[in-house]
Amino acid sequence: MGAELRCFEERCRARFPVTEVIYNCPRCGGLLECVYPGRAADAEALKRSWRERRMSNAALDQSGVWRYREIISFLDDYRTVVTLKEGNTPLLDAPRAASYAGLDRLVFKHQGFNPSGSFKDNGMTCGTTQALRLRMGRVACVSTGNTSASMAAYASAAGLQPIIFIPHGNISYGKLAQALEYGAKTFQVEANFDQILALVRTLAERLGIYLLNSINPFRIEGQKTIMVEMMDQRDWSPPEWVVLPGGNLGNISAFGKAMREMLELGLIPRSPRLAVVQAAGSAPFYELWKSSDRTRLPRVERPETLATAIRIGDPVSWPKALHEVLSSDGVVEKVTEQEIADAKAQIGLCGIGCEPASAATLAGIRKLRAAGVIARDADVVAVLTGNLLKDPDYIYKYHTGQLAAPGGEKLTPTFGNQPVVVPNDADRIARMLS
């Protein structure tokens, strides 16, 4: 049986063909997800075949997304797949970060190794392929920078026109530069992410442009494979915890769905606990988690954080995210600007590095460890969502003591590493080094 779109709301559950251009349930307005009625699998055969594909030179098999196509089987023809060989991201041991967090061991799954430098590529290969299938010539998104960079790359690779909307002045130059270079029509809007999302939805509908924000259920399918690949790399032994940063909450929705489906298919024996970490100035999901009323998101009107990737006050996917954190017996945490900045420098000192939003993971783990929620000997995987080079401005300012929080207060360069200006004089430099 094929795939269907299903309303995520329990009281609705209306179903629609995957070939309909819809982003919310036309009946009740709920979020949509891809479902695969009647799907069953021989788990051992699947694992074998996925492992064998790593030896193959076929484009689909070389993609760390499409290699796992049986778990994202929403297409009936694979000839139109647009791939830049996304996924294939490593698990990296980080002893120094582990000791900073108070853990015996910590492993990073580094999504910054993707073609456009973030986890968005896992989803975008699916989103743009679906756009081609639906014969949509133009695709659009609002973005804090990574979705737009990724969409620009995949749309251009597919021969589609990418149109992106970004909050003026609040995305890093690295990400803006990518969008320009990959050929996206780029609008810098004088509004924040949440306000621009409403604008883009109106324009997409009015002009018949395909929307590729994470509300798009096909992007979520692609992002599921981050967790499938991680389990494959661990020989199907689940960690106790998977920790990730939360912004618009698409990724946590994808990870939770992946866990539930891997359990259903018999690929893993149990689900890891999912921990979402938000920046304190943009933490509506954390507030929801702590609230006695979990039916309404206490959105943040003016979200702030230097981790601009997760500067979002009204995340659309919160109902899915809440379901996934609850189903996995997970938690939600928030961390300050100083905690993010210091954790980021520690990840750098591991020789690994990441962009600010990604470092919220290590800061969150440290806090959850101190509170006794995560045990010292726990098996923890943290997902680094974006590459170090996405935001070099932040890094330079941190190390030179110029980084200021959104409120204006200077952050302490606890692990700062100032460059030193020297004359062209071997003797003087030798003296400085001895």
Q: Does residue 280 touch ligand F0G according to CB under 6 A?
A: no
The closest alpha carbon to 359, from 304, 416, 411, 307, belongs to: 307
From 83-91, 226-234, 247-255, 322-330, give the range in contact with ligand F0G by CB under 6 A. Answer: 247-255
Which pair of structure tokens corresponds to residue 152?
Answer: 């620009």
In the list 89, 172, 251, 282, the residue contacting ligand F0G (rule: CB under 6 A) is 251
303-332: which residues touch ligand F0G (CB under 6 A)? 309-310
Kindly state the smallest distance separating residue 11's Cβ from ligand F0G, in Å.
25
Kindly state the smallest distance separating residue 423's Cβ from ligand F0G, in Å.
40
Q: Does residue 358 touch ligand F0G according to CB under 6 A?
A: yes
360-379: which residues touch ligand F0G (CB under 6 A)? none
143-172: which residues touch ligand F0G (CB under 6 A)? 143-147
Kindly state the smallest distance separating residue 218's Cβ from ligand F0G, in Å.
14
From 45-53, 142-150, 183-191, 345-353, give the range in contact with ligand F0G by CB under 6 A. Answer: 142-150
Chain CA centroid to CA 194, Å: 17
* Contact present, 148 and 139 (Cβ < 8 Å): no
Task: Give the angle subtended at the CA of 126 by the CAs of 125 and 127, to the nearest 5°.
Answer: 95
185-214: which residues touch ligand F0G (CB under 6 A)? 214
Q: Does residue 248 touch ligand F0G according to CB under 6 A?
A: yes
Q: Residues touching ligand F0G: how many (CB under 6 A)?
A: 22
Beta bridge partners, 5, equal 16, 34
Kindly state the smallest distance separating residue 211's Cβ from ligand F0G, in Å.
13
Q: Does residue 350 touch ligand F0G according to CB under 6 A?
A: no
The closest alpha carbon to 307, from 329, 283, 340, 274, belongs to: 340
Kindly state the smallest distance separating residue 245's Cβ from ligand F0G, in Å.
4
In the list 64, 127, 238, 250, the residue contacting ligand F0G (rule: CB under 6 A) is 250
Q: Does residue 245 touch ligand F0G according to CB under 6 A?
A: yes
Edge-to-edge strand list for the sheet holding 107-110: 91-93, 107-110, 380-384, 241-245, 273-279, 331-335
Which residues of the chain form contacts with ligand F0G (CB under 6 A)? 118, 120, 143-147, 214, 245-251, 309-310, 355, 357-358, 385-386
